[in-house]
A and B are shown apart, each in its own frame.
Chain A
Amino acid sequence: MTECGAPKRTLSSSGLRVLLMGNPNVGKSAMFSRLTGAHVIVSNYPGTTVSFTEGTLDLDGKPSRVIDVPGTYTLEPLSRAEEVAVGMLKAGDIVVNVVDATNLERNLNLTLQLLKRRAPMVVALNMWDEALEHGITIDVKALQDRLGVPVVTTCAISGEGMMDLRQSLQHARPGTLDYEEAHRWDTIGEIVDQVQQVEHRHPTVGQRLSHATVHPVIGPLFALVVLAASFELVRLIGEGIIRYLADPFFNRLWLPLVQALSAALGSGGLVHDLLIGQLVNGSVDFRQSFGALSTGLYIPLAQVLPYVFAFYLVLGLLEDSGYLPRLGVLVDNVMHRVGLHGLSVVPMLLGLGCTVPGVLALRLLETRKERFIAATLLAICVPCMAQLAMISGLLGAYGLVGFVPVFGTLFLLWVVLGTLLKRFVAGTTPEMLLDIPPYRIPYWGSTLRKLWVRMVGFLLEGEVFVLVGVLAVNLLYSVGAIEAVGRAAGPLMTKLLGLPPEAVGALLVGLLRKDVAVGMLAPLHLGLKQLIVASVVLAAYFPCAAAFVMLLRELGPKDMLKASAIMLIVAFSVGGLLNLLMTGLGL
């Protein structure tokens, strides 16, 4: 046994670090929301893409930091999240071990490992109400005596027991329980026998639903209904925000201001072009003018943000209710055909909102092969909400005739490219071994907080790139650079893709930001065939700068170089094929 050091720490020193540690799905995030104030920071653990959330807690007038450590079943580093958890443990002062009271035995496995590290600790028996509902009673006093650390009962969702938990932090101490590592489970079994009593109850509605949703036949049907309803809901909420909030704001309040500024600047000149852009029929057009204050604000804030908000709200509810792991089980067999397993559905779904959180979620995957395949498919075949919103805007007039070729091509590409990558990328795809948490009604506090964190991330990372992109395009235009590149790349654009040379500007901007790039196609007045080709190529050829940086961090330079080569080759060959095919069909 190694002594990992248990220096006596008291609450008298300021800036204590309180770590929330526990198995996945034990309500740590809800507890985190309850313990901390409004101000939270999401950071990446140094050298990884594993992120953690940090907030502040006032302990008797002394500010402390609370860290929501990624959920882990064990302190033996089996995955990146576990490596991070072990690393953080060394830097923490107090551990709050969040235990799911409905599943004491498995949760005590981590508790015992934490006790062995001799960290000052408190155990929170969370989901206490649910345990009672299931006929489970736990003798808290006896458990406390066995472990030698304070044990409190909590229900983070309703907030019950949170005062007790705060007070117990004063008494956090290293445990007294000692055991032989080889007999860990025996010790756990003994403790559970001693402190827990289970009275048999009939399955609850939630449990019945839980079984039905992974039923081999009912499950997939249910999944189709859930997914269809989710996307309809995203569309409804997104459109609603645009129609009743974003558009009125921009048209009634912002437009007069921008018009006045335009007049004051003399309706032309370099500064006018940078800030306001080109006037369309003598006035500012938010979709086509292309200035930093016109299109540069309108596209991300009024066209994309409402859908990003709606998407992450709905996805957050799906995540927090516990449906996503079930979806992972249902799609596992399909995912295996492309060298992934079921849980990779999570980064793919997140990527539909924004590629950046999609890349962050790649940490769920264990091997290099899986991460490479998932990252490449994510970058090429999964359009983000910024692209989806803009493509819908461009092709909306054509209806299904416009959408089906674009999204059908991307989906086919996902299948074909995935099958090839599975074959040719070296390495293994491990099978999943997954705990499926019971269905739970999401706690609004943590769902909204997650939504907020994702929105802030999107705005901070996204809006900067939009403004830089718009300014860069205008500057490049004014010095004639885009025309020059357009002339140089013109033959490629016209011959291979059937696009006008000016479309090269959109491809360049697409390196910075996808929505702005798709927006640049609007003033070109392209035909249906050209719009389809341009949309597919823009989606597939490269992710935006923010996503590129994240991918580079996740994959490393060598794999990123390979992935980039695949992206370029795939995008231009598929674009060329589509052009050829549609021309052949007489479009």
Chain B
Amino acid sequence: MVTNLERLAAGKTAVVVGFDGGHGLLGKADAMGLRVGKKLRKLSSQLMAGPVTVIMDGRQLAMGRGIARKILVKAAD
């Protein structure tokens, strides 16, 4: 089932399937190695609409909720 990184439950593993955003987001995400086909695990969401933290290739990435919402993922299990 396709969802986004904001809605994905903490602790779940997923694969990136698409971006629901403009050129700016794509450029930034691409520079960080975050792209379609990457596997990642959601670590946590901060309280009060704070950022989402994920682990990708053993590294932590933090992103605002707005960005997390635009990253479409497919839960792996």
CB under 8 Å from chain B, chain A span 207-262? 210-211, 214-217, 219
Question: With A431-B65, A432-B62, A436-B59 as given contacts, are A332 and B32 in contact (CB-CB < 8 Å)?
Answer: no
Which residue of the partner chain, among B34, B59, B62, B65, contacts A214 with CB atoms under 8 Å?
B62
Q: Is the CB of B50 within 8 A of A332?
A: yes
Count of interface residues, chain B, beta-carbon cutoff 8 Å: 31
Q: In the complex, what residues of A have CB within 8 A of residue B57's CB?
A: 103, 105-106
Mask for A123-136, Cβ within 8 A of B = 1, else 0? 00000000000100
Q: Is B13 an interface residue (CB 8 A)?
A: no
Complex-state Cα separation, A328 to B61, whole angstroms: 12
Complex-state Cα separation, A434 to B46, whole angstroms: 14
Mask for B38-77, Cβ within 8 A of A = 1, else 0? 0000011111111101000111111111110000000000
Cβ of B18 to closest chain A Cβ, rounded Å: 15
Q: Is the CB of B44 within 8 A of A433?
A: no
Question: With A103-B57, A214-B43 as given contacts, are A434 and B63 in contact (CB-CB < 8 Å)?
Answer: yes
Q: Is A302 an interface residue (CB 8 A)?
A: no
Q: Is the CB of B51 within 8 A of A432?
A: yes
Cβ of A531 to closest chain B Cβ, rounded Å: 37
Question: With A74-B31, A76-B31 as given contacts, are A435 and B61 in contact (CB-CB < 8 Å)?
Answer: yes
Number of A-B contacts (CB under 8 A): 103
Q: Is the CB of A436 within 8 A of B61?
A: yes
Closest to B70 in A: A431
Closest to A113 in B: B31
Q: Is the CB of B46 within 8 A of A185?
A: no
Cβ of A100 to closest chain B Cβ, rounded Å: 9
Mask for A169-202, Cβ within 8 A of B = 1, else 0? 0000000000000000100000000000000000
Which residue of the partner chain, among B35, B46, B61, contacts A433 with CB atoms under 8 Å?
B61
Q: In the complex, what residues of A have CB within 8 A of residue B63's CB?
A: 431-434
Mask for A96-108, Cβ within 8 A of B = 1, else 0? 0000001101100
Q: In the complex, what residues of A have CB within 8 A of residue B2's CB?
A: none
Q: Is the CB of A211 within 8 A of B67?
A: no
Cβ of A298 to closest chain B Cβ, rounded Å: 45
Cβ of A162 to closest chain B Cβ, rounded Å: 25
Q: Is the CB of B31 within 8 A of A329?
A: no
Q: In the complex, what residues of A have CB within 8 A of residue B46's CB?
A: 214, 216, 219, 329-330, 332-333
Q: Is A339 an interface residue (CB 8 A)?
A: no
Complex-state Cα separation, A102 to B62, whole angstroms: 19
Cβ of B10 to closest chain A Cβ, rounded Å: 9
Q: Is B29 an interface residue (CB 8 A)?
A: yes
Q: Is A52 an interface residue (CB 8 A)?
A: no
CB under 8 Å from chain B, chain A span 421-456? 430-436, 438
A-B interface, 6 closest residue pairs, ranked by CB to CB distance from nearest? A431-B64, A106-B33, A333-B50, A436-B60, A73-B31, A74-B31
**Chain B residues close to A by CB (< 8 Å):** 24, 27-35, 43-51, 53, 57-67
Instruction: Name 5 extra pairs, CB < 8 A, besides A329-B51, A436-B62.
Output: A216-B44, A329-B53, A329-B62, A431-B64, A431-B67
* A–B pairs, 6, beta carbons within 8 Å: A109-B33, A214-B44, A330-B50, A430-B24, A433-B29, A434-B63
